[in-house]
Chain A
Amino acid sequence: MSKHDDDTFIEMKGIGKQYGGVTALEDVDFRVKSGEAICLAGENGSGKSTLIKILVGVEQPTSGQIFIDGKSYNHLNPRQAAAVGISVIFQDFSLFSNLTVAENIAFATHLSEKKRLFDRSATRRIAQEALDRIGVEIDLDARVETIPVAHKQLVAICRGLASNARLIIMDEPTTALTGREVQALLRIIRKLKDSGIAVVFVSHKLAEVLEVCEEVFVLRNGTNVADGPACDFDAASLTRHMTGRNISEAKPPLNIDQAKNLLVVDQLGKLGAFEDIDFELKEGEVLGISGVLGSGRTALAKALFGLVAPDRGSIALSGKNVALGNPIAATQAGIGYVPEDRLTEGLFLTQSIIRNVSVGRFDHHRSGGFLDLASLVNEARGWIEKLRIKAPDFEAEVKSLSGGNQQRVALARWLSQAPRVLVLNGPSVGVDVGSKADIHAIIRELAESGIGIVVISDDLPELLATCGRILMMKDGRIDSIVMAEETNEIELAAKLAS
């Protein structure tokens, strides 16, 4: 029934997937041609990872069919997917850091050949061939733990090549790369395409890879909302399709011209991460910091809170220097930090919501050496209500909450400590659209109450909606400072990609 061209490798038709009562995918048609690169774009929860899981056989679709080389399947299993040449490069690369580069590349190949003995020279040969195909040189005998992140990604690509991949799916491929490394990656992608290998990029920020792609495919809430040739899309239209919003949220202008300087960062630098960082933050100001990953923005954010120890420079709050590299000193000075990775860094998932909110306030609710639990719980409940955290039971484990509510718990923890400066790293990553607007409203409210806020994000609409000024970082330095009122998403995207 499928009428496919000669070069169609995989065609997914009418794919639907339901988890219990939740529809993750609905009637999605997705096609991959040999030698073609496709952007599969969508926000977290849009269904893009479900689609990929179906493609690699980890999940089974509830409806629809999959055609590979014209042959029809109702669903795939992981072994079938691997056998036809579908290879996934996970965001964490799934490499073995204790093994050599050669072994990492050749391991899966050996497994598929059902070998019992380990052949070191064959391993090196397979690895060398794969490396030659993408034209890079990496020491075959180096342990993977010793090589840089960009090389790890190449090793993962080579692993796919070594097991005769015809389609390489890359999950968030540019996340950990610097600008230069992204360019190197794009050159390799072109080589792969020339040899007939298809590539699918899965990401929620695709501006960087758009130039090597033929097709763009956007998912939102489990349905395909836009697709077509890559030349018809730019960063702004991609974002618009992904979020489904046309206009940025309205933003009441904050009058902070008269406000006092709150935080002064002077000549802050750390070898290999960032240098010459100078800026000041006024009371009630929302300052954005952006830049691609690897630009030093996360290291800088952590340095503001003492999680990274800078080599030089100073941070002063209301004229008083804050001890560097010490989160406790930063907290006592009045700096709060909401981390990027809620699940591993931000929350105590198996602990109660109350505990997660109140963890920073234990020392303030003491009576005679013991905790005054009643007042502690009352205060935490106050914040839970104030931030409209929806939970059936405040004693429930925090992991039972939705992403948006979890983020509010993380915010509540810091707000309860009455910070003077709040550093928010990726405040709405993995949060649904509704909660996102709420979180932005909370940020504005906090600023109005006089707190200085630093928002670190690569979500451009978010920066425009919340910030006054935006520092654009590049290769560890502040590249430019942009006034949010005087720019728009397209300009910002261009700056980010430059």
Chain B
Amino acid sequence: MKIFFWKSLATKNETLVAVVIVAFCLLATFSDPLFLSVTTLTDLLRASVVIGILAVAAMMVLISGGIDVSFTAIAVFAMYSTTVLTLGVMPDMPWYCIFAISIGIGAILGAINGFFVVICRLPTLIVTLGTLSVFRGFLLTFIGSQRISALPPEMRGFSRMMITRGTTEAGSFYAIPWAVAALVIVVLLTLFILHKTMLGRSIFAIGGSLESARRIGINVRGAQFFVYCYVGALAGLAGIIHGAMGRMADPFSLVGLELSVIAAVVLGGARLIGGYGTLTGTLLGVSLIVLVENSLIVVGIPSTWQFVTIGLLILLGTGLPAWQAKRAAAKSA
């Protein structure tokens, strides 16, 4: 009985979010039969790529017991400076080199976070709040504050590379860009790291109990440092994809999104205290947020109510388990 309760609690968020998503889709299909179409689906998929990669990154930090709010600044920094660099040095650089540079810049910025968290032992929220302004301020002051729409040709080329495209019987156009593959790769890679390597298990262990992890000889500093570098690298990837797909390098974009991304991750069941978080949950959380952001109007809620809806979802998704845990604690002596 007791074990069943805990198990259901552990998976509560995922099931809750899944149920809400299904209900949403049913309602949407009911009010607009066209909703459940390949076109909608591919549109939503496209919209989830950047936020999805960022969410996987944010989940990683939460699992390790920290929090990172600077990843959007890293993403935009990496994207914009890579674009500027490419245009200045070698505009015809192949897209994968451009991506590699952006990922590299992201990883370096992540390492800066890692330095302050791991070596200086500062609280993660404060460090990343600080680096959020530092990265963004540095970018806008020293690298540039103009939108660049003349992207390197290979970046524009990437945004046109499609896995599949076509026209439905109803005559609407649909396409799945290769960028979606990036999200798939990130998910698989993270899945591998978290569940098939000792490093990944160490990250879970550190999130579960930092002190115990030290006592049994886990390389705590190394693992934490890795987490912040990995988050930076993923942010660099998400940033460059955002730039390529939006066909513009906008130094003002992305920043401000960090709390919604963390919201998506927390909706998916990751806990702020560390040690808990699943990719399934995170992806479900992302789906829900993307669904609400793009299709609220379909279920008859004006899109001006989008913030209210997401806010209420966060309160519900985190409030329910918190309240249950509180009641369970009161029950036992």
Kindly state whether residue A69 has any CB partner on chain B within 8 Å.
no
Question: Would you give the 0/1 interface string for B209-246, flagging 1 where the beta carbon is closer than 8 Å to chain A?
Answer: 10111011110000000000000000000000000000
Measured CA separation A99–B205 after assembly (Å): 7
**Closest-CB distance, A70 to chain B (whole angstroms):** 26
For residue B89, CB closer than 8 A to chain A, the reply is no
Q: Looking at the complex, which one of A107, A273, A308 makes contact with B216 (CB distance below 8 Å)?
A: A107
A90 to B6, CA, bound (A): 25
Q: Given A94, A99, A115, A302, which contacts B211 in the complex, CB threshold below 8 Å?
A: A94
Contact of A299 among B2, B6, B209, B333 (CB under 8 A): B333
Q: Is A19 an interface residue (CB 8 A)?
A: no
Given known contacts A107-B216, A111-B218, A272-B332, A94 and B209 CB-to-CB distance under 8 angstroms: yes
- CB-CB under 8 A from A299, the residues of chain B are 333
Decide yes or no whether B208 CB sits under 8 A from chain A.
yes
Q: Which B-chain residue is minimally distant from A88 (CB atoms)?
A: B215
B165 at interface, CB cutoff 8 A = no
- Could you tell me the distance between the alpha carbons of A115 and B217 in the complex, rounded to whole angstroms? 13
- Among A90, A94, A96, the residue within 8 A (CB) of B275 is A96
Question: Given known contacts A78-B217, A96-B204, A96-B212, is B198 in contact with A116 (CB within 8 Å)?
Answer: yes
CA distance A143 to B7 in the complex (A): 9
Contact A118 B208 (CB under 8 A): no
A89-131 toward B: CB 8 Å interface, digit per residue (1/0)?
0100011111100010001101110011110000000000000
CB distance from B217 to the nearest CB of A (A): 5
Q: How far is the CA of A98 from the CA of B216 in the complex (A)?
A: 16
B330 touches A (CB below 8 Å): yes
Query: Considering the chains assembled together, what is the distance between the CA atoms of A97 and B7 in angstroms?
Result: 13
Tell me the complex Cα distance, A326–B182, Å: 55
Residue among A79, A99, A146, A272 making CB contact with B208, cutoff 8 Å:
A99
Task: Check if A82 is an interface residue, CB within 8 A of chain B.
Answer: yes
B6 & A146 in contact (Cβ 8 Å cutoff): yes
Q: Does A254 reach chain B (CB closer than 8 Å)?
A: no
Q: Is there an interface contact between A108 and B216, defined as CB atoms closer than 8 Å?
A: yes
Instruction: Select which of B7, B195, B215 is within 8 A of A94 by beta carbon.
Output: B215
* 1/0 contact string of B297-319 vs chain A (CB within 8 Å): 00000000000000000000000
Contacts of B276 in A (CB 8 A): 98
| A residues in contact with B207, CB < 8 Å | 98
B7 neighbours in A (Cβ, 8 Å) = 146
A115 x B198 contact (CB < 8 A): yes
Q: Is B119 an interface residue (CB 8 A)?
A: no
Q: Is there an interface contact between B333 and A118, defined as CB atoms closer than 8 Å?
A: no
B-side contacts of A97, CB under 8 Å = 208-209, 275
Tell me if A118 and B10 are in contact (CB < 8 A).
Answer: no
| B4: min CB distance to chain A, Å | 10
- In the complex, per-residue mask of B188-207: 1 if CB is within 8 Å of any chain A CB, else 0: 00000001111111001101
Q: B3, B216, B275 — which one has the most chain A CB atoms within 10 A of its CB? A: B216
Contacts of A94 in B (CB 8 A): 209, 211-212, 215-216
Q: A270 within 8 Å of B by Cβ?
A: yes
Please judge, given known A-B contacts A99-B205, A118-B200, A273-B333, whether A143 and B218 are in contact too, CB under 8 Å: no
Q: Count B interface residues, CB 8 Å.
A: 29
B6 near A145 with CB under 8 A, answer: yes
**A115 / chain B contacts, CB cutoff of 8 Å:** 198
A309 within 8 A of B: yes
* Closest chain B residue, CB of each to CB of A273: B333
Q: Which residues of A contact B216 (CB under 8 A)?
A: 94, 107-108, 111, 159
Residues in B with CB closer than 8 Å to A110 are 198
Number of interface residues of A (CB under 8 A): 32
In the assembled complex, A497 has its CB within 8 A of some CB on chain B: no
Q: In whole angstroms, what is the CA distance A272 to B310 when docked?
A: 41
Contact present for B208 and A98 (CB under 8 Å): yes
Q: Are B201 and A103 in contact (CB under 8 A)?
A: yes
- Nearest-Cβ distance from residue A375 to partner chain B, whole angstroms: 37
Complex interface: chain B residues within 8 A of A145 (CB): 6
| CB of A105 to closest CB in B, whole Å | 11
A79 partner, pick from B199, B201, B217, B275, beta carbons under 8 A: B217
B274 to chain A, nearest CB (A): 8
Measured in the bound complex, the distance between the Cα atoms of B202 and A115 in whole Å is 12
| A84, chain B: closest CB distance, angstroms | 15
What residues of B have a CB within 8 angstroms of the CB of A108 in the complex?
216-217
Q: Are B201 and A95 in contact (CB under 8 A)?
A: no
Tell me, yes or no, whether A142 is within 8 Å of chain B by CB. Answer: yes
Contact B201 A308 (CB under 8 A): no
What chain B residues lie within 8 Å of A117 (beta carbons)?
Answer: 196-198
Shortest Cβ distance from A115 into B: residue: B198
Give Cα A79–Cα B45 distance, bound, in whole angstroms.
Answer: 50
B65 CB → nearest A CB, Å: 10
A322 to chain B, nearest CB (A): 18
Interface residues in B50-74 (C-beta closer than 8 Å to A): none
Contact partner, B330, options A116, A302, A309, Cβ 8 Å = A309
Q: Do residues B6 and A143 form an inter-chain contact, with CB atoms below 8 A?
A: yes
Cβ-defined contact, B208 with A96, below 8 A: yes
In the bound complex, what is the Cα–Cα distance between A309 and B198 (angstroms)? 43
Q: Report whether A142 and B3 are in contact in the complex, using a CB–CB cutoff of 8 Å.
A: yes
Structural contact, A302 and B212, CB atoms closer than 8 A: no
The complex places the Cα of A107 from the Cα of B195 at a distance, in Å, of: 13
Q: In the complex the two chains form, is A116's CB within 8 Å of B197's CB?
A: yes
- CB-CB under 8 A from A272, the residues of chain B are 332-333
B82–chain A nearest beta-carbon distance, Å: 31
A298 to B, closest residue via Cβ: B333
Q: Which residue of B lies closest to A106 (CB)?
A: B201
Shortest distance from the beta carbon of A490 to any chain B beta carbon, whole Å? 32
CA distance A79 to B215 in the complex (A): 11
Give the shortest distance, in Å, between B239 (CB) and chain A (any CB).
29
Which chain A residues in 336-379 approach chain B with CB under 8 Å? none
Contact A90 B199 (CB under 8 A): no
Complex CA gap A337/B209 in Å reads 31
Given contacts A99-B208, A111-B216, whether A270 and B333 have CB atoms under 8 Å apart is: yes
A79→B200 CA distance, assembly (Å): 22
> B333 → chain A, closest Cβ, in Å?
4
Q: Which chain B residues border A118 with CB–CB below 8 Å? A: 195-198, 200-201
Cβ-closest 10 pairs across A and B: A98-B275, A96-B208, A94-B212, A273-B333, A98-B208, A299-B333, A108-B216, A146-B6, A96-B205, A94-B215
Residue numbers of A with Cβ under 8 A of B are: 78-79, 82, 90, 94-99, 103, 107-108, 110-112, 115-118, 142-143, 145-146, 159, 270, 272-273, 299, 302, 308-309
A-B contact list, 28 entries, CB within 8 Å: A94-B211, A94-B212, A95-B209, A96-B204, A96-B212, A97-B275, A98-B204, A98-B207, A99-B201, A107-B201, A107-B218, A108-B216, A108-B217, A111-B198, A111-B218, A112-B217, A117-B197, A118-B195, A118-B200, A118-B201, A142-B3, A143-B6, A159-B216, A270-B333, A272-B333, A273-B333, A299-B333, A308-B333
